[in-house]
A = this chain, B = another copy of it.
Amino acid sequence: MTRAAEHEQTHEREYDVVVLGAGPVGENVVDRVRAAGLSAAVVESELVGGECSYWACMPSKALLRPAIVRSEARRVAGLRAHAYGPLDAQEVLAHRDEVVGNWQDDGQVSWVRSTGADLYRGQGRLHGPRRVTVEGAEGDRHVLTARHAVAVCTGSRAVLPPLPGLTGARPWTSREATSSERVPRRLVVVGGGVVGAEMATAWQALGAHVTMLIRGDRLLPRMEPFAGEHVAAALTERGADIRTGVSVSAVVRDGSAGPVTVVLDGGDHVEGDEVLFATGRRPRTEDIGLETVGLEPGSWLAVDDSLRVDGFDWLYAVGDVNHRALLTHQGKYQARIAGAAIAARATEKADDAVAWGPHRATADHAAVPQVVFTDPEAAAVGLSLAEAEAAGHRVRAVDLDLRGVAGAGLYAQGYRGHARMVVDLDREVVLGATFVGPGIGELLHSATVAVTGEVPIARLWHAVPAYPTISEAWLRLLEAYRDGDGADGS
């Protein structure tokens, strides 16, 4: 067979479910529909395992964990003399490479195949209702028909703003920031969200001098204000230059190895060896055939709580692409729900439409958790005070300086941290909680259970935190609420 003939060859196949995108979200949809006995195909144009495994959560945390542990070692007696030494950057980068499997996806491919799903490598595109075409790199072409559902799980990618000179300046996005093989002497970070704050923390600990350029007034703008304030203060104390209220107007890099100059509105400029643009995400939906089913290429896909695209009975959008919560764990949660809903509709002809039931991603509205692995860590779940007020709840926020918690002082000398609990005064349940401080990452899930479980304040008094853990923050927050501390919301 000639190469030309091979190119023309088209294979047709029918499945119960076709999934576009084999990141953690697509994998979880596959897992759930396969568990229900449905046949499934999954299409991936890059590495199986997705952004999270190779260019986001996994490598970023591999880079951040040594920074956090060094910081903790500096704050306990008996270790300080050792812990002041610099991190061995080559050792950290090599470990990062190992964590991402050297950007090879063999393990993930095996896992997908073990579910009994078929994996198609190539660009998948909708081709009218219930049909997906796959163009493989080898010129092979497949047409897949979905009896019950197509699930779009293609995720999101970094947005680069349309600035003069930016493309030619080879900026880092989250991908380069998590996969770089060398430590820049000077790193300019544009953007103060989670990616900007985490990567500033990691590369600073690995030896870079960091400048952050933030359009708004603070880091971590989607959390309670004190979270970003604590993180910014720590970055600044360690030598970062954080500038708020600034906008980038152009980027200049001459030649291939020279420095990069970031020009600000007003004419000021900052020089660095690399510049990271962490300025938002857009959906990876430009080239998946949305136009063949009447949707707009490049758009976020609006869905209902079963993750089904508005106006369709067979099309689902799960994870980042639906813009409900751009977080791996929340996408996986949606994937479990969507997979179960697809299976129920396919086999029982009906899903369970109850809020908090197995086929409704109710937590997307009420209890999305996030841990930011900065130093100090920041973590939040549910509604912030401002969000709760905007949603019309009658609320009170109670605040706590974590220095008053015995377990915090034992965790790290000179501990600094803060917590806030937002209480619904009508139902006497917790609507949200935010923590910032060393060692609070694993503490968040207690708040997630309280918010999700709608556990009444009166019952939370019986949930005794072990002494002396940082979790005793809960007791102090309840005491502050009981004693009427804190401001009632409007």
Shortest C-beta distance, A195 to chain B (Å), equals 15
Give the residues in chain B near A469, CB-CB below 8 Å.
371, 441-442, 444-445
- Known A333-B464, A448-B465, A466-B379; judge A76-B65 contact (CB<8 A): yes
Pull 6 A–B residue pairs with CB atoms less than 8 Å apart, ordered by A. Answer: A73-B83, A78-B88, A79-B88, A327-B467, A368-B464, A449-B450
User: Which B residue sits closest to A92, measured CB to CB?
Assistant: B78
Q: A77-B91, A83-B73, A92-B77 are in contact. Are A452 and B463 (CB under 8 A)?
A: yes
Asked if A452 and B462 make an inter-chain contact with CB atoms under 8 angstroms apart, the answer reads yes
- Chain B's nearest CB lies how many Å from the CB of A263? 35
Report the nearest B residue to A440, measured CB to CB. B442
Distance in angstroms from A150 CB to nearest chain B CB is 25
> Does A233 make an interface contact (CB < 8 A)?
no
Can you list, as one digit per residue, whether each of A446-459 has a CB less than 8 Å from chain B (1) or not (0)?
Answer: 10111011010011
Smallest Cβ distance from A74 to chain B, in angstroms? Answer: 9
A328-B467, A442-B470, A468-B58 as given contacts; A462 in contact with B363, CB under 8 Å? yes
Inter-subunit contact B61/A79 (CB<8 Å): no
Q: Is A302 an interface residue (CB 8 A)?
A: no
Closest to A379 in B: B466
Complex Cα distance A57/B469, Å? Answer: 10
Residues on B with beta carbons closer than 8 Å to the beta carbon of A446? 445-446, 448-449
Interface size class of A (residues with CB under 8 A): 35 or more
Asked whether A468 and B57 contact (CB < 8 A) given A82-B82, A453-B463, the answer is yes
B-binding segment of A154-162, A237-245, A395-403, A406-414? A406-414
Q: Which residues of B contact A346 (CB under 8 A)?
A: none
> Chain B residues near A330 (CB, 8 Å)?
464
The copy count of this chain in the complex is 2
Cα of A406 to Cα of B463 in the assembled complex, Å:
28
In the complex, what residues of B have CB within 8 A of residue A336's CB?
461
Which residues on B sit within 8 Å (CB–CB) of A452? 455, 459-460, 462-463
Assembled-state Cα–Cα distance A444/B466 (Å): 8
Q: How far is the CB of A29 from chain B (nearest CB, A)?
A: 15
Give the residue among A78, A332, A410, A468 with the most B Cβ atoms within 10 A: A78
As a 0/1 sequence over residues 4 to 23 of chain A, the CB contacts with chain B under 8 angstroms (1 = contact) are 00000000000000000000
A471→B442 contact, CB < 8 A? yes
Check A66 for interface membership: any CB of B closer than 8 A. yes
Which of A70, A77, A363, A450 lies at the interface centre, i.e. has the most chain B CB atoms within 10 A of its CB? A77
Contacts of A441 in B (CB 8 A): 442, 466, 469
Interface set, chain A 251-273, CB cutoff 8 A to B: none
Contact between A82 and B80 (Cβ–Cβ < 8 Å)?
no
A344 CB within 8 Å of chain B: no
A332–B94 CB distance below 8 A: no
**A195 CA / B270 CA spacing, docked (Å):** 56
Decide if A69 touches B76 in the complex (CB within 8 Å).
Answer: yes
Check if A471 sits within 8 Å of B445, measured CB to CB: yes
A341 within 8 A of B: no
Per the bound structure, the CA–CA distance linking A442 and B442 in Å amounts to 6
Task: Answer whether residue A89 sits at the interface, using C-beta atoms and an 8 A cutoff.
Answer: yes
Give Cα A458–Cα B461 distance, bound, in whole angstroms. 23
A250 at the interface (CB under 8 A from B): no
Known: A78-B88, A442-B470. 6 other contacts (CB 8 A): A79-B88, A82-B85, A369-B466, A371-B466, A440-B442, A446-B449
Residues of chain B with a CB closer than 8 A to A79's CB = 66, 69-70, 73, 83, 87-88
A87 to B439, CA, bound (A): 21
Which of A88, A406, A449 gathers most chain B CB within 10 Å?
Answer: A449
* B367 and A464 within 8 A (CB): yes
A143 at the interface (CB under 8 A from B): no
Q: Is the CB of B448 within 8 A of A459?
A: no
Cα–Cα, bound, A419→B300 (Å): 39
Q: Tell me, rounded to whole Å, the shortest Cβ–Cβ distance linking A378 to chain B.
A: 11
Asked if A52 is an interface residue, CB under 8 A from chain B, the answer is: yes
**A62 in the interface, Cβ–Cβ < 8 Å?**
yes
* Chain B positions within 8 Å of A463 at CB level: 363, 367, 445, 448-449, 452-453
Q: A88-B77, A467-B328 are in contact. Are A445 and B448 (CB under 8 A)?
A: no
A344 to nearest B CB, angstroms?
15
Chain A 86-125 per-residue mask, 1 if CB under 8 angstroms from chain B, else 0: 0111011011100100000000000000000000000000
